[in-house]
Structure 1
Amino acid sequence: MQTLKIIKIGGQIIEDKKALKSFLKDFSELKGPKILIHGGGLEASKFSERLSIKVSKIDGRRITDAETLEVTVMTYAGLINKNIVARLQGFDCNALGFTGADANTILSEKRATSPIDFGFVGDIVQVNTKVLETLMNEKVTPVFCAITHDKKGQLLNTNADTLASELAIAFSKIYNTELYFCFEKNGVLTDVTDENSVVKELNYGSYQHLLKEGKVADGMIPKLDNCFRAIDHKVSKVCIGTSELIKNSLVTHTKIIK
């Protein structure tokens, strides 16, 4: 079975032009089928502040009202996504930008308003792999931003880690699927101030222990929840670390295990 690499980038990698350029060069050189998913929450927050739109989060998840959704779509699907696609083309990687609405690839439903009203946030209910598989067979690389749709004309903000995890799960029926979460840290840290405190291997029990001790918080919680969902649904490999991870598997990182 052929291996598909699904890589999600976020955090300060997107903010740092030099780091992003280096990552995209390394990504473009990966052999075989691959999919890139990007976040952009920091950039979206900056634009919201410029427009005097309040940014609200609960447990690391963004509250998306109508105004915030407009900013998110413009930032994720427009500015960030198209800049990444253009840079990949510059590295001879034939990329194509996607939201979940494009070719009906990722269908979501608006999250229930109870117990917390997250606004226009979508929970993924279906991933349609056929078009993406066809494109990858033609050496086209899909680049997804974290926007999905409900097939009723409504775009929805969706957690990028969740989107990456659900893509990996859907494709695990077709490929040997590997999932990589890349950001500015070396992996899951027991002390956020110490880059050397990396947990080399993390199982669910150890994760729950870190949660109880308060050593895992904010955006790392949904990230790890998605990691364990992926590893429990036949994704063959799930890793968290810096962008160096995609070209050198020996660099320090966290591997998610059962």
Structure 2
Amino acid sequence: MQEKVSIVKIGGNLIENEAVLDEFIEGFSKLEGLKILVHGGGKLATQLAEKLGIETKMVDGRRITDAETLKIITKVYGGYANKTIVAKLQARNCNAIGLSGADLNLIRSVKRPVKTHDFGFVGDVEAVNAAALKLLLDHQITPVCCAITHDKEGQLFNTNADTIASEIAKAISKDFETHLYYCFEKNGVLRDINDDTSVIEEIDTNSYQKLLEEKIIADGMLPKLFNCFNALEHEVAKVYIGSIKMITDPQTKKTTITL
């Protein structure tokens, strides 16, 4: 029987709010068994860019990462956000290590091809070093992975944290029973975006198509759900979308994604 690993992804909105982050860290540190945390930090990066007078350019909700923006993202994701999370986990006796994709050659990417837009230094994941993650997990060390990868030729890339979480889950699924959690501000995928109680408790491939046709699922939720289904198709055992409360309370309302 495979040992369970929980892979939890949190977004920049949760990291920005210290009270919410502390609540999450408290719950995550008490999560039984082996675990991996993946985080972004986009809002913090945007705030720092504004202070430095560097314009944040977005296309279809996605950040254009030029050379100056990459420096800011590296400082925020790999520095302040990552080490703050690690320090808070250590304070709760959860032995964590902060990593970018470059550390331990953890996540190798290629620059996103130019189609309609050049997103700059944005990477699409090519490979995950599952052996390195297994080594850390076997020693009861919790990896805290930020949304930065590399090409093994010296170039860093800004990379989607949802995708990183999915790719990590897929990579270690041969060695562990992997459960993937996407935590954000809502209680799950909502039937009515203005009603936090309208959680769709289960979405499979058939109901997903209907929700797309009804335009209930759109915009930023589309890539998140793509990553969910992609994970399940590659032997990831369970995938959930919901608030931070689902980490500690199995009875909390959330969306379960199934094939």
TM-score range normalised by the length of the shorter chain:
over 0.9
With over 3 angstroms needed to count, the CA separation of the structure-2 counterparts of 1:228 and 1:93, relative to structure 1, is same
1:190 is aligned to 191
Tell me how far apart the structure 1 counterparts of residues 120 and 214 of structure 2 sit (CA, whole Å): 30
Output one character per residue of 1:73-128: Cα deviation in whole Å (capped at 9) or x when no partner.
11100010000000100001111000000010110000111232111100001001
2:166 is aligned to 165
3-state SS of 1:117 partner:
coil
1:198 deviation in Å? 1.0
Q: Which amino acid letter does the alignment assign opposite residue 50 of structure 2? A: E
* TM-score, normalised via structure 1 length: 0.96
2:32 is aligned to 31
1:103 is aligned to 104
| Within-5 A mapping of 1:136-155 | 136-155=137-156
Structure 2 alignment gaps of length 5 or more: none
| Within-5 A mapping of 1:120-131 | 120-131=121-132
2:175 is aligned to 174
1:257 deviation in Å? 0.9
Tell me how far apart the structure 1 counterparts of residues 5 and 71 of structure 2 sit (CA, whole Å): 32
For the aligned residue pairs, the C-alpha RMSD in angstroms reads 1.3
72-81 vs 204-213, which moves further: 204-213
With over 3 angstroms needed to count, the CA separation of the structure-2 counterparts of 1:226 and 1:130, relative to structure 1, is same
1:51 is aligned to 52
3-state SS of 2:200 partner:
coil
3-state SS of 2:181 partner:
strand
2:17 is aligned to 16
Output one character per residue of 1:117-160: Cα deviation in whole Å (capped at 9) or x when no partner.
11110000100111221111111110000000000100000000
Tell me how far apart the structure 2 counterparts of residues 12 and 208 of structure 1 sit (CA, whole Å): 28
Output one character per residue of 1:30-66: Cα deviation in whole Å (capped at 9) or x when no partner.
2221100011111111112222222233333222111
With over 3 angstroms needed to count, the CA separation of the structure-2 counterparts of 1:59 and 1:224, relative to structure 1, is farther
Aligned length: 258
230-239 vs 51-60, which moves further: 51-60
1:90 matched to 2:96? no
Tell me how far apart the structure 1 counterparts of residues 4 and 34 of structure 2 sit (CA, whole Å): 7
Tell me how far apart the structure 2 counterparts of residues 67 and 134 of structure 1 sit (CA, whole Å): 35
2:230 is aligned to 229
Identical aligned pairs, as a percentage? 52
CA contact (8 A) 1:188 1:199 kept: yes
CA contact (8 A) 2:188 2:253 kept: yes
CA contact (8 A) 2:181 2:241 kept: yes
1:204 is aligned to 205
Q: Which amino acid letter does the alignment assign opposite residue 176 of structure 2? A: Y
Structure 1 alignment gaps of length 5 or more: none
118-127 vs 10-19, which moves further: 10-19
3-state SS of 1:93 partner:
coil
Tell me how far apart the structure 2 counterparts of residues 61 and 208 of structure 1 sit (CA, whole Å): 24
CA contact (8 A) 1:228 1:256 kept: yes
With over 3 angstroms needed to count, the CA separation of the structure-2 counterparts of 1:49 and 1:206, relative to structure 1, is farther
3-state SS of 1:34 partner:
strand
* TM-score, normalised via structure 2 length: 0.96
Q: Which amino acid letter does the alignment assign opposite residue 200 of structure 1? A: E
1:250 deviation in Å? 1.2
CA contact (8 A) 1:37 1:143 kept: yes
Tell me how far apart the structure 1 counterparts of residues 71 and 30 of structure 2 sit (CA, whole Å): 34
Tell me how far apart the structure 1 counterparts of residues 214 and 63 of structure 2 sit (CA, whole Å): 24
Q: Which amino acid letter does the alignment assign opposite residue 90 of structure 1? A: A
1:11 deviation in Å? 4.4
3-state SS of 1:46 partner:
helix
